[in-house]
């Protein structure tokens, strides 16, 4: 079940909210646990045992880490081996077998195993909880049902953001419910829905057309690169907005996961703005424990590369993700050594163009099926193989999707927010915003009824 579906929007969500607000406060966590497990079961029935087992393991190790201080490090290591081991098996076993087979004559058979949805996200939540309990930055949760509710909470279960236990520790016990907070949640959810259905899904159509076309032109490759860049942003930030909005409706406050990353002035700045919950997770639980930048330059560069190889692998079990991670790791090292000083001195527009181009190339690496496919898509941007600048077909699709691309470009910046947030526009927005949100909801619903099923891109991670 996805948020941008009729089943979720008009059946699951209204029923859940009705029951949730009818029952007394002491039962709300139980209701959330039940509906969250039902939500997961609907989408992944055969792996419901896996998330329940993971929750039990996390609960037991949390108790052991808290109770036996002298052996807490041993229990932490064992817990990470078990929890991350499950992730490694389901996500990477065939990737390992494939690469081992390159070096041995007796080929190992692949293991048929499907990737459980959301496993990368809820695994990181469990690991961060256990580490925070070990470091005494979080109190151990002795009520297994409350811990299970935190891990399985349906708004962020499938594709994040990665909500740390310390962020909502107090909210698990006591949450504030106000009409204003609920309405802000509805607003956030509808905006996220519009991002996903009206922009990301429409740009996905363009990308599908381009990939299936035999036509080749420089314009076609630029259309593919730009639309792909916008698609992944509106798809994932749209999901994050919906998750944060749902959290508000239920009384929770989740941290923002995106902060206009396409206005970044460097790659360092970009990763402070893009998928914030993931980048800060790796910073706090991998980079800093390795020594961060408080070590010799060689070890500092090593730490950066380790983090980014792991970040790449987190996104998928394929070499293009490893290359994608190394690409960013190397660029970040270059920036930290000397380039960032130069970027601070050049005009902002040049720094932003540099960042956008680097990021655009990164998504070509990210989406590449093979090395040849990646090289073809990058080379096509520069007219390699004597490509024409444009073709009738590429001009037709540019004209057809021009408005969506322009809306996407404007919507990926804070221009609209700044204009509508001004004092002059305040009264106007109070009147027009409800109409606008209703319009987005109606049009998005129409698209969902007429369109085909379109899962969120990050479901596969």
Does the pLDDT value for residue 453 go beyond 60? no
pLDDT for the residue numbered 229: 95
pLDDT tens-place string over residues 382-438? 988 788 898 889 899 999 999 999 999 999 999 888 877 776 776 777 778 888 899
| Helix H or strand E segment including 386 | none
Decide: 252 and 154 in contact? Cβ < 8 Å.
no
121: Cα within 13 Å, side-chain hemisphere: 24
pLDDT for the residue numbered 214: 80
Decide: 389 and 218 in contact? Cβ < 8 Å.
yes
Q: Average the pLDDT over each of 311-315, 342-346, 446-450 and give the range with the smallest value.
A: 446-450
Q: Using 50, 70 and 90 to split pLDDT, how confident is the model at 53?
A: very high
Decide: 241 and 146 in contact? Cβ < 8 Å.
no
pLDDT tens-place string over residues 140-196? 999 999 999 999 999 988 877 999 999 999 999 999 889 999 999 999 999 999 999
Does the pLDDT value for residue 457 go beyond 80? no
Residue that wins the pLDDT comparison between 106 and 202: 202
pLDDT for the residue numbered 419: 78
Neighbours of 289 (CB within 10 A): 10
pLDDT for the residue numbered 372: 83
pLDDT for the residue numbered 46: 87
pLDDT for the residue numbered 85: 95
Cα distance between residue 28 and residue 24, in whole Å = 7
Does the pLDDT value for residue 311 go beyond 90? yes
pLDDT for the residue numbered 80: 96
Query: With pLDDT > 90 as the criterion, what percentage of the chain qualifies?
Result: 72
pLDDT for the residue numbered 216: 84
> What is the mean predicted confidence (pLDDT) over 337-362?
94
Helix (H, G, I), strand (E, B) or coil at 461: coil
pTM (2 d.p.)? 0.91
Query: Scanning the structure block, which residue is given the tokens 């073709």?
Result: 391
State both tokens at 256.
């923002």
Decide: 417 and 187 in contact? Cβ < 8 Å.
no
State both tokens at 403.
């408005």
Residue 269 vs residues 336, 352, 371: alpha-carbon distances, Å: 11, 10, 28
Does the pLDDT value for residue 137 go beyond 90? yes
> What is the mean predicted confidence (pLDDT) over 46-52?
92
pLDDT for the residue numbered 407: 95
Domain positions in the chain are 6-174, 181-460
pLDDT for the residue numbered 383: 84
pLDDT for the residue numbered 452: 56
pLDDT tens-place string over residues 189-243? 999 999 999 999 999 999 989 888 887 889 999 999 999 999 999 999 999 999 9
> What is the mean predicted confidence (pLDDT) over 345-352?
94
Residue that wins the pLDDT comparison between 3 and 431: 3
pLDDT for the residue numbered 448: 86
pLDDT for the residue numbered 460: 53
Neighbours of 60 (CB within 10 A): 14
Does the pLDDT value for residue 21 go beyond 70? yes
pLDDT for the residue numbered 451: 66
Does the pLDDT value for residue 458 go beyond 70? no
| Burial class of residue 142, CB neighbours in 10 A (0-12, 13-18, 19+) | exposed
Active site amino acids: 315
């Amino acid at each position: 079940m996805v948020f941008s579906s009729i089943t979720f929007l008009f059946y699951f969500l209204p029923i859940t909210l009705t029951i949730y607000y009818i029952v007394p406060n002491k039962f709300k966590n139980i209701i959330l646990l039940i509906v969250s497990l039902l939500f997961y079961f609907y989408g992944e029935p055969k792996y419901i045992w896996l998330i329940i087992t993971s929750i039990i393991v996390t609960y037991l190790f949390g108790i052991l880490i808290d109770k036996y201080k002298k052996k807490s490090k041993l229990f932490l290591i064992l817990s990470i081996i078990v929890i991350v081991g499950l992730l490694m098996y389901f996500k990477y076993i065939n990737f390992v077998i494939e690469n081992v087979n390159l070096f041995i004559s007796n080929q190992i058979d692949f293991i048929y195993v499907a990737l459980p949805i959301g496993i990368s996200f809820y695994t990181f939540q469990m690991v961060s909880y256990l580490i925070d309990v070990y470091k005494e930055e979080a109190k151990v949760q002795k009520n297994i049902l409350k811990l299970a509710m935190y891990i399985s909470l349906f708004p962020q279960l499938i594709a994040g953001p990665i909500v740390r236990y310390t962020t909502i520790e107090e909210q698990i016990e006591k949450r504030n419910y106000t009409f204003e907070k609920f309405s802000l949640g509805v607003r956030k959810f509808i905006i996220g829905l519009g991002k996903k259905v009206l922009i990301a899904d429409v740009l996905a159509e363009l990308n599908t057309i381009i990939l299936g076309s035999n036509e080749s032109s420089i314009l076609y490759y630029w259309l593919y690169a730009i639309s792909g860049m916008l698609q992944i942003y509106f798809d994932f930030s749209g999901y994050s907005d919906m998750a944060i909005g749902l959290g508000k409706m239920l009384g929770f406050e989740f941290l923002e996961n995106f902060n206009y990353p396409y206005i970044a002035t460097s790659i360092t700045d970009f990763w402070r703005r893009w998928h914030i919950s993931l980048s800060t997770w790796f910073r706090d639980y991998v980079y800093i424990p390795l020594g961060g930048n408080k070590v010799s330059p060689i070890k500092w560069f090593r730490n950066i590369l380790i983090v980014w190889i792991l970040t790449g692998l987190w996104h998928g079990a394929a070499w293009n993700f490893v290359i994608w991670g190394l690409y960013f790791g190397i660029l970040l090292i270059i920036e930290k050594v000397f380039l960032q000083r130069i970027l601070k001195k050049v005009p902002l527009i040049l720094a932003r163009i540099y960042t956008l181009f680097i990021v655009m190339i990164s998504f070509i690496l990210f989406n590449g099926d093979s090395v040849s496919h990646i090289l073809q898509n990058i080379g096509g941007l520069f007219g390699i193989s004597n490509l024409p600048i444009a073709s009738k077909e590429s001009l037709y699709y540019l004209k057809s999707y021009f408005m969506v691309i322009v809306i996407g470009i404007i919507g990926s910046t804070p221009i609209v927010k700044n204009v509508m947030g001004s004092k002059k526009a305040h009264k106007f927005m109070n009147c027009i915003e409800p109409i606008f949100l209703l319009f987005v909801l109606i049009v998005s619903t129409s698209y969902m009824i007429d369109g085909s099923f379109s899962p969120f891109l990050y479901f596969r991670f």
